[in-house]
Structure 1
């Protein structure tokens, strides 16, 4: 078992399994310790949430993030946060992933797309949250500026999010082709 300590907090990441036989992101258990994401209170993201912590590389032990001295996520073209104009508009947006904990105790992973208007507080544009014991998530950019949400670093477990101009909202694409 390995643990990463967030400053003044319980371990953010614990591993429940054997790193010799399983990938770290499969056996990782994350403990959210913050009550807001990018200045937005967890309870404003979802009413049932008491904690939500955005994944950041500095919260995860370097020995997990780096393989043979190389950044494994960067090598896979993945990140925990990606900036862009995902709806094609003028306002910059950021997509982030992390772990939440409901006030009743259940945990899961989330993905947010936030508008980042200049000089203003970020505004929620899209929320996807799933209760799960496997909270790891990462992002990459797909074809045509689409966002790709991954549940692991070396697998086919992904979902593609795109802006639907007709419906004027984000939506998941059916998984038919490579991101």
Structure 2
């Protein structure tokens, strides 16, 4: 009777030790994975600067790194088939010290936004125009502009897409005259173009002349 009891205790002790080793192994593996994920996130800043912001405007030396696979619920590869990532510009993704100069919101001062809303096609349907950065599956990156219909429910409908490969992808928007959209590639310069609804062609397009009639 005593031998059976001892044997039972030995088996139980062995089982507990085995479970303990498995638990420790799992905890260690989770720790490694979390550490790797944290390191990857730390390495993958959305904005990196290639130059001295004290000597050059930050948006001229900024390189953006898209990290999402959809924009407003639309998969990146449905916007363009060769895209693997696309991230909409948002203020909360950009370091505050870049956007705020001397405590002032530089974009607010210039009346610029990364996304603007309006009835840009002259109908009752509201649209949103937005800018962001894309990355092709093959690697190249660039700036994109989207105009989307905003339905009450469901995924937005793409009305316009413009994408260009760029080493420096900064872009911003501003409401123009007669429901037009001003597209800028800088914050304090004259490098801009105009997007406007063409009633005859029934689509959005760039104005040949910056002056909107």
- Place the TM-score, normalised by the shorter chain, in its bin: over 0.9
User: In 2, Cα distance between the equivalents of 1:9 and 1:125?
Assistant: 35
RMSD of equivalent CA atoms: 1.7
For residue 113 of structure 1, the aligned residue among 147, 150, 172 is 147
Report which stretch shifted further, 50-59 or 166-175: 166-175
Per-residue displacement from partner, 1:94-118 (whole Å, max 9, x unpaired)? 0010000000000000000000011
Q: TM-score, normalised by structure 2?
A: 0.79
Moved over 2 A (4+): 6-9, 175-179
Q: Which has the higher contact order (CA 8 A, sep 6+)?
A: 1
| 8 Å CA contact 2:194, 2:210 repeated in 1 | no
Answer 1 or 2: which has greater strand percent: 1
- The Cα shift of 1:175 comes to 3.2
Aligned to 1:96: 130
Is the alpha carbon distance of 1:178 and 1:15 closer, same or farther for their aligned partners in structure 2, counting shifts above 3 Å?
farther
Structure 1: which 5+ runs fail to align?
Answer: 1-5
- The Cα shift of 1:7 comes to 6.7
| 8 Å CA contact 1:98, 1:137 repeated in 2 | yes
Q: TM-score, normalised by structure 1?
A: 0.93
1:74 to 2:96 alignment: no
Tell me how many residue pairs correspond in the alignment: 174
- The Cα shift of 1:8 comes to 7.1
Per-residue displacement from partner, 1:65-124 (whole Å, max 9, x unpaired)? 011111100110100000001001111110010000000000000000000011121010
1:159 to 2:190 alignment: no
Structure 2 counterparts to residues 43-58 of structure 1, below 5 A: 43-58=77-92
| 8 Å CA contact 1:9, 1:33 repeated in 2 | no
Aligned to 1:3: none
Structure 2: which 5+ runs fail to align?
Answer: 1-39
Larger radius of gyration: 2
Answer 1 or 2: which has greater helix percent: 2
